[in-house]
Amino acid sequence: MNDIKCSKCDEFLVPRKTEFDYLGSTFSHEVPVCPKCGRVFISRELALGKMSEVEQQLEDK
Amino acid sequence: MTQEQTQEFVKGCIRGEPPPCASACPFRLDVKDFLAKCARGKWTSAYKTYRNAVVFPVVVAELCGAPCRGVCKLTEQPIELSAVERTMLSNVKKRGADFYAIPPKPQRILIIGAGLRGLACALGLAQKQYQVTVTDPQDGWGGAIRSHPKFDVFDADFRDQFSAVKVEFRYGEMNPETSGYDAVLTAVDRDDPIASIVDGAADALRLETYVQTGVMPEAQPSAYRCTESPPPRELSEPEARAESARCEQCDCSACLDACPMLKSYRKDPKRLALEFFTDAFVNPPLSTHSMTREAYSCMDCGACKAACPQSIDLGRLFHAYRRMRFENGTTPAAFHDIFLRRMERFNESGRVLAPLDGSRYVYFPGCAVATELPDTSARAFDFLRERYGAGLLERCCGSPLIWAGVDSEPPKLDLNATYIYACPSCAESLRAQLPNIATLSVYDLLSGTGIADAPTFTLFHACAARDNHALQGAVERLASGASLTVNRSTLNCCGYGGQTQLANPRQYRETVESNVRSDSNPYLVYCANCRETFKRQGKECYHILELLFPAANVNDALPLTIPDDVRDYMAANLILERDVLDVIRYAESSGEKFTTADGSLIASLVRGALTYWVEYRPIGDSFEVSSAYYHRMKFRQGGAR
């Protein structure tokens, strides 16, 4: 995370609590974010790992 | 969705209903339960099951003509139930009746006639503690069977069954005094001893209703007529257990056997209907949906209906539920989003051409043929325009909307035109939405063209053509020039039906793999979705149109370099190259992207219900893609600090 930069702001990303929505549920999780513009970065590992798990759990409800 | 509505979808389902043997039994003996107990050697338990159904077990085991035999599914060697019954009686240790500890009832009931009917009625009432008196002009009980050579064992059976109840028997009375009783029944035996017992047991229930309510229900005499049957074999205990174990415990499982989805969820139709009903009344957060995955896993292929002896189409139940979720705004959008966006794109970019003067034909290729086989489809259209003056309508038939449960208008079509479809799903969908529409398959118009020098294929029929025998025939005629092995047996869904791939990836993968494995020949298909599905799995597969109108090698590749592993991942997750290029172009024009330490770029773009991410490097005018993925959750971009 420390080696990823926001191309527009030229700032290294920092962990920040971010809100997520899916199928009517809202929750927050710490993800890398540009400290200047607030642009959120979701890594492949997160998207296909934890996020996918939670998505499936919510879809089963 | 009310319970009545969901039950209506499975009305007539015979799963869980008594099997043919139990239905044929005049006593409706639970044959499966009885034989299961006998197979385990639980003779006392089996005896109770048997006695509770037949009233006088020794009499019935001796005299019953075993109508169950004639309806047993094991037609070559039906279960010998009579023989098992006799072995059970020989092995049961305690034959006495059970005592029911219920308070005595004051009503006095007189039964005139101590034949089988009168005895069965008296026993039923006495077990419920009514004050029962039985009279008979003869010197003892049994009526007509008093002269039977085995009356001594029947007599013992009567004594056993009456051992736990109190009944007053008065013999030798020609005209008994009937006053002082709450009910009097003249119990005349039927010609058939079994029918007499059945009627007597029913009389007991009728009389009880009468003394409790004052209303006597009408008698419904048993229609049973004992037929001559060969005397049962003598079976030893191990033989009787083995014979009982041969019972297949019949129950209808036709739909569960035919559908991989129903099989994996192990839910029978009535249970599905009940669960869809209860699911329709969830009240988040107190309760949550439990049927979502099932509901969006139906491939809508009609396999259940084709297999069902009652022709029940469970797809209608699943569809009604998806429609309900759409109407109350709780559709899991990500399941169908990709397909619906593809449909919208096709509807926006598809071509429309009027027929030539004098022609009423309009070629309706459908999205799959037009986008997966664009050059072939264009050449087919050229042929149809030249030969028949056909017009062209590249519009969606509406199948993706139906599968997603979206409430939509049918496609706007000219009801005076005849639409020439190429896709079996289009034909089915158009017919369902516009019953008066005139349609014809493109394969009808191409008949006789033939395919020269074709290798041996297996023709994989489309599930959407299951009931469209004309289409199946047209394709078979068209392919007759090829050396075909016609695979008529399956009509299974290739895996694409219902567009369940994103809702249930495991089911999709297993279904496709099973179809791919089931035949080693290359597949010849006439549904472009089957083609796309099989080719993605590495199966050699051709659409019959591409053999008739081979595509020219056109280079319409996008400016992307994608390694095979990334390409495979994209295909499995329905990520199009076009989606990838959209993300890159947006990132390049807006500058909204991330840079990694090794200099590659990562960007995202929200498309419908999905957020796509692409990792890439610009190389000249092209882009080298090292990763593409998406997630379904939406995040809120943080504000600038």
Tens digit of pLDDT for each residue in B166-211?
Answer: 999 999 998 899 999 999 999 999 999 999 999 999 999 999 999 9
Q: Taking each helix axis from N to C terminus, what angle separates B314-327 and B269-279, rounded to the nearest 10 degrees? A: 10
Using alpha carbons only, give the angle B262, B268, B269 rounded to the nearest 5 degrees.
100
Task: Answer for the pair B111, B134: CB distance below 8 angstroms, yes or no.
Answer: yes
Which residues in chain A (42-61) have CB-CB distances under 8 A to chain B? 42, 44, 47-48, 51-52, 54-55, 59-61
Interval B253-260 mean pLDDT: 91
Closest Cα in chain B, distance from residue A2 (Å): 9
Token code pair at residue B633? 């959750």
Q: Between β-strands B541-543 and B523-525, what pairing exists: parallel, antiparallel or unpaired? A: parallel
Interval B6-10 mean pLDDT: 94
Least Cα distance to B459 among B378, B345, B543, B393 occurs for B543
Where does residue B435 rank: exposed (0-12), middle (13-18), buried (19+ CB within 10 A)? exposed
Token code pair at residue B86? 């006799």
Closest Cα in chain B, distance from residue A54 (Å): 9
Beta carbons of A3 and B639 less than 8 Å apart: no
Beta carbons of B330 and A24 less than 8 Å apart: yes
Give the percent of chain B with pLDDT over 90.
76
pLDDT above 60 for B639:
no
Where does residue B218 rank: exposed (0-12), middle (13-18), buried (19+ CB within 10 A)? exposed
Instruction: Compute the distance between CA of residue B80 and CA of residue B74 in angstroms, rounded to an integer.
Output: 11
Interval B571-594 mean pLDDT: 94
Which H/E stretch holds residue B71? helix B68-71
Instruction: Compute the distance between CA of residue B84 and CA of residue B242 in angstroms, rounded to an integer.
Output: 10
pLDDT above 90 for B636:
no
Q: Give residue B640's pLDDT.
A: 38
pLDDT above 90 for B484:
no
Backbone angles phi, psi at B155, to 5 degrees: -60, -40
pLDDT above 80 for B395:
yes
A23 touches chain B (CB under 8 A): yes
Question: Residue B192, Cα to own-chain centre: how many angstroms?
Answer: 41
Instruction: Compute the distance between CA of residue B608 and CA of residue B401 in angstroms, rounded to an integer.
Output: 15
> Binning pLDDT at 50, 70 and 90, where does residue B137 land?
very high
Beta carbons of A60 and B292 less than 8 Å apart: yes
Q: List, as one string, the DSSP characters of B575-587.
A: --HHHHHHHHHHH
Record the pTM. 0.77
Going by C-beta distance under 8 Å and a sequence separation of 6 or more, which residues neighbour residue B504? B261, B293, B296, B297
Token code pair at residue B550? 């081979």
Token code pair at residue B352? 């429309």
Q: Which chain B residues have a beta carbon less than 8 Å from that of A51?
A: 631-633
Q: Which chain B residues have a beta carbon less than 8 Å from that of A3?
A: 596-597
Q: Give residue B485's pLDDT.
A: 61
β-sheet with B541-543: strand ranges across: B484-487, B457-460, B523-525, B541-543
Instruction: Compute the distance between CA of residue B269 and CA of residue B267 in angstroms, rounded to an integer.
Output: 7
What spatial distance separates the first Cα and last Cα of chain B, rounded to whole Å?
50
Q: Give residue A2's pLDDT.
A: 61
pLDDT above 90 for B563:
yes
Three-state secondary structure call for residue B147 = helix
CA atoms within 13 A on the CB side of B504: 26
Task: Answer for the pair B431, B437: CB distance below 8 angstroms, yes or no.
Answer: yes
Going by C-beta distance under 8 Å and a sequence separation of 6 or more, which residues neighbour residue B177? none
Q: Give residue B384's pLDDT.
A: 96
Q: Give residue B641's pLDDT.
A: 35
